[in-house]
């Protein structure tokens, strides 16, 4: 007899039961969530969601539905508007190194740029820092890109077809972004070669005075950084997304300040809403999910949420934080709008995905049973039923 009166055979069977149960669960998971399955890949998407509060903004279904028929073989081009210190470098690398493509971008060691050609063509489907370089100027804004991109692409490519440009960008919490820019400038960054082209010219020294003398602003304190009235870090996201032609570009005397601010904010909100896609630095997994749903492109590896940044390690008094928010009051309003729209788009897309899965399962069951029932008979019927839902 074994210990406690159990036979060796009985003990072996008792040990085998939990092992078989684990194997059964693993097999079942693989059946339900096979490798590469999108619903399972994003099963933890809700983890980084803030508590939902009533929306301040009324968005239509058209505003929320951001799926585009991106034709990488045709004349469609993704244009990445890269705003400083919004995680754009990381996202830009995802675009050239991490998308599963028939013809992946050619990224060679030691070279800053990759070649992102359409399958079988010597044409680029991506306009970004890591594909075409700063062809429209360093960190070109919406005003610069919309005027420059078509011209540059016509010069680079002999075939001048009518292209469809899909603009995308990344936004970030304004306080974190501002602190990150300060730390970057403190280390010697200047972006002095940026053109700031508007209405055919760059701003004059009077229109955009320098905040520092010498080669850079190395060692600048946060107080000094905040005290420069011409610091482009202030409300940078609004300025880079707005149509600056509407306010006389960098000529501050063309209208009063309150009118200028209202026009800039309204323009930035409108341009952002009408972009094909934008992501938020604070929501990496949702950003990945919405990009994939928007363009029907898939990333190879999952995005990573990194919260331990230089900006996060800066200790602020409540007084200084309020001062930064005041200096970026337009960006604060834009980000509130952008975050609301982003999360609503995410919820809309998830609900649509669940509906598509349910319809697909119903069609599969109908096919297995060989019955008609009330299931859509054609792809067109299926698409229209999803749209109605």
pLDDT digits (tens, 9 = 90+) for 57-72: 999 999 999 999 999 9
Per-residue pLDDT for 377 more than 90?
A: no
Is 335 among the domain residues? yes
Cβ contact 237:177 at 8 Å: yes
pLDDT in tens, 297-310: 999 999 999 887 87
Using an 8 Å Cβ cutoff, are 344 and 278 in contact? no
**10 vs 363: CA distance, rounded Å:** 47
Res. 40: pLDDT tops 60: no
24 located within any domain: no
The H or E element containing residue 349 is: helix 329-369
Q: Is the pLDDT of residue 28 over 60?
A: no
What per-residue confidence (pLDDT) applies to 365? 87
Average pLDDT of the segment spanning 110-139: 96
- The pLDDT value recorded for residue 108 is 94
Instruction: Please give the pLDDT value at position 367.
Output: 85
Percentage of residues of the chain with pLDDT beyond 70:
80
Q: What are phi and psi of 372, to 5 degrees?
A: -90, -55
Q: Is residue 11 part of a domain?
A: no
For the record, the structure tokens of 203 come out as 């701003």
Res. 38 pLDDT band, cuts 50 70 90 = low
Is 50 part of any domain? no
Tell which wins on pLDDT, 325 or 372: 325
SS3 state of residue 359: helix
Please give the model's pTM, rounded to 2 decimal places.
Answer: 0.83
Say which residue, 368 or 5, is predicted with more confidence: 368
For the beta sheet containing 126-127, the strands, ordered from the edge strand earlier in sequence to the opposite edge, are 126-127, 76-81, 164-171, 277-280
The answer, yes or no, to whether residue 160 has pLDDT greater than 80, is no
Residues 6+ apart with CB under 8 A from 200: none
- What average pLDDT does range 13-29 have in this prediction? 55
Distance, in Å, from the CA atom of 27 to the CA atom of 41, rounded to the nearest integer, reads 17
Output the average pLDDT for the chain.
87
Residue with tokens 């990194």: 306
Whether pLDDT at 381 is above 90: no
- The neighbouring-strand residues paired with 164 are 76
Question: How many whole angstroms separate alpha carbon 171 and alpha carbon 281?
Answer: 6
pLDDT 10s digits, 218-238? 999 999 999 999 999 999 999
389 within some domain: no
**Dist CA 204 CA 330 (whole Å):** 24
Q: Measured between alpha carbons, how far is 236 from 335 in angstroms, rounded to an integer?
A: 12
The sign of the torsion formed by the CA atoms of 222, 225, 228, 234 equals negative
CB atoms inside a 10 Å sphere around CB 173 = 19
- Averaged pLDDT, 177-201: 97
d(CA 348, CA 298): 19
Which distant-in-sequence residues (6+ apart) come within 8 Å of 161 by Cβ?
75
Residue 10 located in a structural domain? no
Q: Average of pLDDT values for 184-213? A: 97
CATH number, position 234 = 3.40.50
Q: Which of 38-42, 152-156, 322-326, 381-385 has the highest mean pLDDT?
A: 322-326
Q: CA–CA distance from 85 to each of 94, 209, 237, 296 (Å)?
A: 16, 22, 10, 27
Q: Is the pLDDT of residue 169 over 50?
A: yes
Mean pLDDT of 176-197: 97
Q: Does the pLDDT of residue 11 top 70, yes or no?
A: no
Task: Provide the 8-state DSSP code for 30.
Answer: H
| Range of the structural domain that residue 148 is part of | 61-204+217-355
- Residue 362 covered by a domain: no
> Could you say which of 82, 139, 196, 354 is catalytic?
139
Q: Which residues make Cβ contacts (< 8 Å) with residue 125, sequence separation at least 6?
A: 72, 76, 77, 78, 116, 117, 118
Helices (H) then strands (E): counts for the chain: 13, 6
Distance CA 314, CA 68 (A): 40
Give the pLDDT of residue 3: 45
- Residue 41, domain member (yes or no): no
How many whole angstroms separate alpha carbon 240 and alpha carbon 208?
15
Q: Both tokens of residue 119?
A: 């399958």
Give the single-character DSSP code of 198.
B
Banded model confidence at residue 27, pLDDT cuts 50, 70, 90: very low
Q: Is 94 a catalytic residue?
A: no
Q: Which residues contact 252 (CB under 8 A, 6 or more apart)?
A: 207, 260
Distance separating alpha carbons of residues 235 and 231, to the nearest angstrom: 9
Q: Give the distance, in angstroms, between the CA of residue 312 and the centroid of all CA atoms in the same chain.
A: 20
Range with the poorest average pLDDT among 37-51, 88-102, 288-302: 37-51
The average pLDDT across 74-88 equals 97
Residue 306's pLDDT is: 86
* The total number of residues written for the chain in this structure: 389
Residue 330 reports pLDDT greater than 70 = yes
Instruction: Report which of residues 311 and 39 the model is more confident about.
Output: 311
Structure tokens at 148: 């420059």
Q: How many domains does the chain have?
A: 1
Rg (Cα) of the chain, in Å, rounded? 26
**Count of alpha carbons within 13 Å of 273, Cβ hemisphere only?**
20
| pLDDT reading at 206 higher than 90 | yes
């Amino acid at each position: 007899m074994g210990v406690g009166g159990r036979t060796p055979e009985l003990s072996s069977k008792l040990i085998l039961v939990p092992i078989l149960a684990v194997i059964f669960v693993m097999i079942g998971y693989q059946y339900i969530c096979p490798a590469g399955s999108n619903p399972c890949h994003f099963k933890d998407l809700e983890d980084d969601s803030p508590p939902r509060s009533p929306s301040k903004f009324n968005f239509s279904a058209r505003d929320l539905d951001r799926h585009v028929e991106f034709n990488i073989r045709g004349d469609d081009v993704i244009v990445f508007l890269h705003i400083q210190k919004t995680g754009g470098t990381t996202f830009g690398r995802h675009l050239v190194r991490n998308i599963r493509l028939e013809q992946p971008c050619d990224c060679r060691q030691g070279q800053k740029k990759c070649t992102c050609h359409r399958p079988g063509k010597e044409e680029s489907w991506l306009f970004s820092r890591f594909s075409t370089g700063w062809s429209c100027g360093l960190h070109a804004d919406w005003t610069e890109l919309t005027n420059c991109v078509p011209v540059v692409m016509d010069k680079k490519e002999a075939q001048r077809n009518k292209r469809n440009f899909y603009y995308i960008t990344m936004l970030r919490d304004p306080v974190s972004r501002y602190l990150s820019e300060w730390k970057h400038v403190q280390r010697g960054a200047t972006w002095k070669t940026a053109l700031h082209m508007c209405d055919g010219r760059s701003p004059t020294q009077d229109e955009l005075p320098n905040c520092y003398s010498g080669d850079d602003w190395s060692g600048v304190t946060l107080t000094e950084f905040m005290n420069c009235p011409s610091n482009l870090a202030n409300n940078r996201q609004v300025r880079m997304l707005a149509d600056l032609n509407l306010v006389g570009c960098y000529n501050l005397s063309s209208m009063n300040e309150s009118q200028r601010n209202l026009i800039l904010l309204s323009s930035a909100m409108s341009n952002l809403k009408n972009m094909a896609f934008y992501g938020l630095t604070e929501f990496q997994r949702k950003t990945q999910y919405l990009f994939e749903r928007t363009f029907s492109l898939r990333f190879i590896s999952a995005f990573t949420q990194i919260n331990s940044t230089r900006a996060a390690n800066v200790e602020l008094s409540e007084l200084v934080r309020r001062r930064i928010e005041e200096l970026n009051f337009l960006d604060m309003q834009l980000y509130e709008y952008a975050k609301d729209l982003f999360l609503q788009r995410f919820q809309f897309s998830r609900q649509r995905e669940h509906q598509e899965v349910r319809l697909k399962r119903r069609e599969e069951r109908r096919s297995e049973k060989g019955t008609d029932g009330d299931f859509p008979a054609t792809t067109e019927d299926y698409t229209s039923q999803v749209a109605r839902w």
